[in-house]
């Protein structure tokens, strides 16, 4: 029996891909996922941070986001397709 931990396994598959992270305080971070751990702490590179009201932007070489501050994650569709193909190979 395969035990699937979809959120964490999806994030592991998304390493190296761009993603958007929205925090509970309204800020958003766009960057390439470097790594994540079992608490969903996220390490991003080439990051653009947008303020809550959307009128200020910051560019950072990298950042670390604590998992319990995350409200929403968006990964590219191609990552979801890769993950599905691993568990359900096309016939």
Q: In this predicted model, what pLDDT tens digit does every residue of 2-33 receive, in sequence order?
A: 444 567 878 888 899 999 999 999 999 999 99
Instruction: Report residue 71 as tokens.
Output: 């409200």
Does residue 87 carry a pLDDT above 80?
A: no
Domain that holds residue 35: 16-87
Output the pTM of the full model. Answer: 0.81
**Which H or E element spans position 58?**
strand 57-65
Model confidence pLDDT, tens digit, residues 71-82:
999 988 877 766
Does residue 84 carry a pLDDT above 50?
A: yes
Of 66, 54, 68, the closest CA to residue 26 belongs to: 54
| pLDDT value of residue 8 | 81
Look at residue 80 and tell me if it is in a domain. Answer: yes
State how many domains the chain has: 1
Look at residue 34 and tell me if it is in a domain. Answer: yes
Instruction: Report residue 4 as tokens.
Output: 């699937």
Look at residue 38 and tell me if it is in a domain. Answer: yes
Model confidence pLDDT, tens digit, residues 41-73:
999 999 999 999 999 999 999 999 999 999 999
């Amino acid at each position: 029996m395969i035990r699937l931990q979809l959120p964490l396994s999806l994030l592991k598959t998304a390493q190296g891909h761009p993603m958007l992270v929205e925090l509970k305080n309204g800020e958003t971070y766009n960057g390439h996922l470097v790594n994540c751990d079992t608490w969903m702490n996220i390490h991003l590179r080439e990051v653009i941070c947008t303020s809550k009201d959307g009128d200020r932007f910051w560019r950072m070489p990298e950042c670390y986001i604590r998992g319990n501050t995350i409200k929403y994650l968006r990964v590219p569709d191609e990552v979801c397709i890769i993950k599905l193909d691993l568990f359900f190979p096309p016939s």
